[in-house]
Amino acid sequence: MSYPAVRVPAKKVHTASIIFLHGLGDSGHGWSFLSDEAARSNKLQHVKFIFPHAPQQPVTLNMGMKMPSWYDIKELSNIQAKQDEPGVLKSIERLKQIIAEEVQAGIPTDRIIIGGFSQGCAVSLATSAVFDKPLAGVIGLSGYLPIRDTIVSYAVDNKLDVINKKTPYFLGHGTADPVVQFQYGKLSRDVLINQLGRENVSWNEYPGMEHSACPEELDALLKFAEKALPEKTTTA
């Protein structure tokens, strides 16, 4: 049984996939416009887009109200304090499950990009750190690396930090982000490079941008995806 998601089939022969996770309170529909942007410019026609839906669960930050959430958020003023470690780990397993579905469909992991926005970015960065096979790329928008010490220790102790050492990362963050502070995005970038040994991290700052995405960022993101997932040419 496949995980609930918006799935946009490839326009040509399916040889690659992008799995993109939304932020808190959103759904897969909220980011499905990425596939529309790609189609409008005739880009990534060999790519299947998958926009998973987070489960409904109580969120402490929002007075315990139930909403789509990849894990509970207790506070954002200090992202390393009081984190929902079990929830993050559970969502890492969810993302691994979706990757496994694509592998079963014939797409190798090194033809799959994972990524997300805000909370979805957090899950994607954490998954990339502990995943045991090479990925094509990782996209992180306006987010951070959660449960940092746990993730880094697990990756290093199990020698998982070397597997995606050369995998390209696209990180984007607005300098005026009032939700996930700009400094937390930069800190996570530094952890990826200095503690997890990532050698191919592209850091993209967007002056004045708040907790959102801008056309410049989306254009750069699609160019990143095109480079990481080149269309395969087949010969008869």
* Alpha carbon distance 44, 29 (integer Å): 19
* 22 is known as an active-site residue: no
* 173 is known as an active-site residue: no
* 27 is known as an active-site residue: no
Residue spans of beta strands (DSSP E) within 53-158 = 56-59, 65-68, 112-117, 137-141
Those residues with Cβ within 8 angstroms of residue 185's Cβ, 6 or more apart along the chain or in another chain: 142, 143, 144, 171, 173, 177
Kindly report the length of the chain.
Answer: 236
Q: Check: CB of residue 164 under 8 Å from CB of residue 125.
A: no
Considering the candidates 35, 69, 118, 124, report the single residue annotated as catalytic: 118
From the CB of residue 175, how many other CB atoms can be counted at a distance below 10 Å?
A: 14
Considering the candidates 161, 173, 177, 188, report the single residue annotated as catalytic: 177
Residue spans of beta strands (DSSP E) within the chain = 5-8, 16-21, 47-52, 56-59, 65-68, 112-117, 137-141, 169-174, 201-206
Considering the candidates 22, 46, 173, 211, report the single residue annotated as catalytic: 211
Burial label, 196 (beta-carbon count in 10 A; 0-12, 13-18, 19+): buried
Q: Check: CB of residue 21 under 8 Å from CB of residue 96.
A: no
Q: What are the catalytic residues? A: 118, 177, 211
